[in-house]
Structure 1
Amino acid sequence: MVTGTTCNFIIEEDREKPTQETAWKPIYIGGICSFIQTVQFAIFFPSMWPYILTLQPDLKQSSFGIVVAAYSFTQCIFSPFFGYWSNNISQVRLPMIIGFIIMAFGNLVYLSLQFWNDHYLYVMMFSRLIAGAGSGNMSLLRAYASTASTSKDRSKAIACVSGGIDIGSMVGPALQLLFTPLGAEGITTLGLKIDIYTAPALLCLVINTIGLLIVQLAFVEKQIILDSADSSAEEDVPKKKLINPCMIAISVCIMTRFTQQFINTTVESIDVAFTMMMFSFEKEKAVAINATMHTISGAIASVLYLSFIFTGIRKYLKECLYSVISLVIPLVWMLSTYPYNFYKDNVKPMINDLTTVSIWAYYAGFIMVFGVSFSIINITNTTLYSKVVGPRPQGTYQGFYQMAGSFGRMIAPLLMSATYTFFGPRIPWFILIGNFVVIIAAWIVLRKKMVPFEEYEANRVRCSVADTNV
């Protein structure tokens, strides 16, 4: 028979003086670090494609997809590694520092791209591989927020880190607006050309340095121990081992993370090319409008996260229900921006009878998806995932959660850039629609499995008791 035990997190800086309070200060700092990490990743997307076209005009979109996937490839590999390492040394601080150093080196390589006379694609790819490896430590922040918070504060703690990640992903591309006045000509200082394409790498070096200093000087990690109510009365009684969490629920949460990052990276990798073709934008205009949309989305996301963290609205946010709603919104966006054959106008110049979509539907949906939908699901899905895993060290589990997102980021540019190059936007949109239909159906069909670990454990105990009585 499976036996359960009531478990609570006890947070302490000194094991002799345990408390039951959430470690808010390091969690808030973790939110800042997650923002910094995501900004240095997302800031490159609006300008990478125009930049590589400037250096190598004959490059195809499918080849560029490999560059976009490079970052996620190494992040996918190193996320579980950082989680495993953190669990083994019982801290997140050192892996965080190492990650920031690796990311800074990757940004240095990107900045040096202007000094190469050839092989631009491979140098850019190498820089993204290095930066992606360093960003594998991002999973540690989710793990820390999950285990450094009490059950009642879990959603707020997750919102701090998820908010930093989501806002960073919105603000990053928006920062490209700061460099628009530089143009493609830019300025030259000490032999270094700083223009609309290279300035992001320089800013990222500054951001990496700030993040490194914050972790080194301000992040005071509080250790978490698991206290068993059963063992509090009898110190000599060994603590009972927790059963494994529900793998079905974990799989659904992980697939949801994959789906979210899959569409996110698809849009990031082909958005500029798509708007240049669909709406006849020039390169600079496409970059500027993309950054503007991210600015608006980021502002909305910021308001939502701040409201969730500092008001009581979070108690009305039911994880399962709002996760499904947040998945329906991008599905509706994909359906409304699919270039149906019965539309009247064609793109100019005409490409395989490809019809144009409404610019208002595209950008209004963009804001709804990246400003509202993803802001909510970053909280609901991640919070539920941490609850499904239960009161145990979550470094490795969060590493796999991060890996799922990284895998989506890796597959999307390879698959979607290739299909976009050969077939136009219809096939990528069709793939996205099918993906969302499947994951929404999984949430609905398996909704009874999507419960916190304590409820899952109690259900297992009841089933075992019933089987024994029979």
Structure 2
Amino acid sequence: MFFISLWPYLNTIDPTASATFFGIITAVFSLGQAISSPLFGFWMNKAKTIRPVLCFAFILMLASNGVYACTEFFPQHQRKYVMLVARFLTGFGAGDMAVIRAYSATASNIKDRARAVSLVTSAWVLGLVVGPGLQVIFEPFGYPGFKLFGLFHFDMYTAPAWFSALADLLSIILLWTIFVEEYAGILTDEEKNSNKSPSRKGEGRMRGYSFLWEGTMTGILFMSGSIARIIGPILVSTLFEHYGPEATWGLQIGVISITILLWIIFYSKIVPLETSPNLNP
């Protein structure tokens, strides 16, 4: 939500921070996400539930957003490092997206799985698009703004962080009060041991083996994408600081061109998704 104001905020509270260090701050978010995504997925698979995983992630993001908003409480020479740690922990908590996607796949049947996963992905992308735009709402507060309870700074730079912390708190409440965790087509331990379970005749019964490591594999997929987002900000900020904007534009144009070229070359090798919506009992 506050990515747009990240550099102005850093430059305001610590004018000595360089563009390269800002690139590192941007990259550590993805580093945290790359580390936590497979860990959260593994935790989900072992615990066989996503509620404690998501709760931990939300609490971590709530705390780190609070630390980000309170960066000015630290001495000036420490502020950029405090922001670095806060963004790393926020990214670590953001690794819960791998768990959410894995759950959307395991909580839906084959007929609705594509729709369920696409809705979750759309909600995530919508947040990425709308979130930075909300920065406009906080512009009227200006800087230094005012103090909450006579202690916490509330201005156009810290307000998005406080708003994000409030959203994390609301997510925790909804997680434990409204959210109902259900899975489709996977036998529970009680069902496996029950004599009333349906017949396995024909050996076509779906037992959910394909989902045993769904969370971990989705986490690894997210980790691979996060690695690219770690390298990108550092590389772009370094190029911008030493060679100006033309070098960064050239890099982006080159990456896009290579991506399109590879898509054209390997288009015939892309395997279409084929699933059968019918499961034999």
TM-score, length of structure 1 as denominator length = 0.52
Q: Secondary structure at the match of 1:96?
A: helix
Correspondent of 2:83 among 124, 128, 131: 124
For residue 416 of structure 1, report the CA deviation from its aligned partner. Answer: 0.6
The one-letter amino acid of 1:58's match is T
Match of 2:192 in 1: none
Counterpart Cα distance in 1 of 2:211 and 2:56? 27
Match of 2:164 in 1: 204
Match of 1:65 in 2: 23
* Number of residue equivalences: 262
Asked if the contact 1:147–1:393 (Cα under 8 Å) also holds between the matched residues in 2, the reply is no
The one-letter amino acid of 2:11's match is L
For residue 113 of structure 1, report the CA deviation from its aligned partner. Answer: 0.6
Q: Secondary structure at the match of 2:17?
A: coil
For residue 200 of structure 1, report the CA deviation from its aligned partner. Answer: 1.3
For residue 426 of structure 1, report the CA deviation from its aligned partner. Answer: 2.1
Q: Secondary structure at the match of 2:94?
A: helix
Asked if the contact 1:73–1:407 (Cα under 8 Å) also holds between the matched residues in 2, the reply is yes
Correspondent of 1:422 among 242, 249, 252: 242
Match of 1:99 in 2: 57
Asked if the contact 1:226–1:392 (Cα under 8 Å) also holds between the matched residues in 2, the reply is no
For residue 238 of structure 1, report the CA deviation from its aligned partner. Answer: 9.7
Asked if the contact 2:38–2:220 (Cα under 8 Å) also holds between the matched residues in 1, the reply is yes
Identity of aligned residues (%): 34
Match of 1:233 in 2: 201
Residues 226, 193 of structure 1: alpha-carbon distance in 2 compared, 3 angstrom cutoff: closer
The one-letter amino acid of 2:14's match is Q
Match of 1:396 in 2: 216
Q: Secondary structure at the match of 1:45?
A: coil
- Structure 1 position 171 matched with structure 2 position 130: yes
Asked if the contact 1:86–1:95 (Cα under 8 Å) also holds between the matched residues in 2, the reply is yes
1:422-461 correspondence to structure 2 within 5 Å: 422-447=242-267, 448-452=269-273
- The unaligned stretches of length 5 or more in structure 2 are 188-198, 277-281
Correspondent of 2:139 among 154, 166, 180: 180
Residues 152, 429 of structure 1: alpha-carbon distance in 2 compared, 3 angstrom cutoff: farther
Match of 2:39 in 1: 81
Q: Deviations over 1:370-394 (max 9, x none)?
A: xxxxxxxxxxxxxxxxxxxx77652
TM-score, length of structure 2 as denominator length = 0.85
- Structure 1 position 114 matched with structure 2 position 72: yes
Match of 1:153 in 2: 112
- Structure 1 position 215 matched with structure 2 position 183: no
Residues 151, 443 of structure 1: alpha-carbon distance in 2 compared, 3 angstrom cutoff: farther
Asked if the contact 2:141–2:156 (Cα under 8 Å) also holds between the matched residues in 1, the reply is yes
Counterpart Cα distance in 2 of 1:240 and 1:157? 20
RMSD: 2.5
For residue 239 of structure 1, report the CA deviation from its aligned partner. Answer: 8.1
1:333-344 correspondence to structure 2 within 5 Å: none
Counterpart Cα distance in 1 of 2:88 and 2:82? 10
Counterpart Cα distance in 1 of 2:114 and 2:231? 30
Residues 176, 226 of structure 1: alpha-carbon distance in 2 compared, 3 angstrom cutoff: same
Q: Deviations over 1:398-457 (max 9, x none)?
A: 1122112322221111111111111112222222222223333333333333322659xx
Counterpart Cα distance in 1 of 2:97 and 2:205? 34
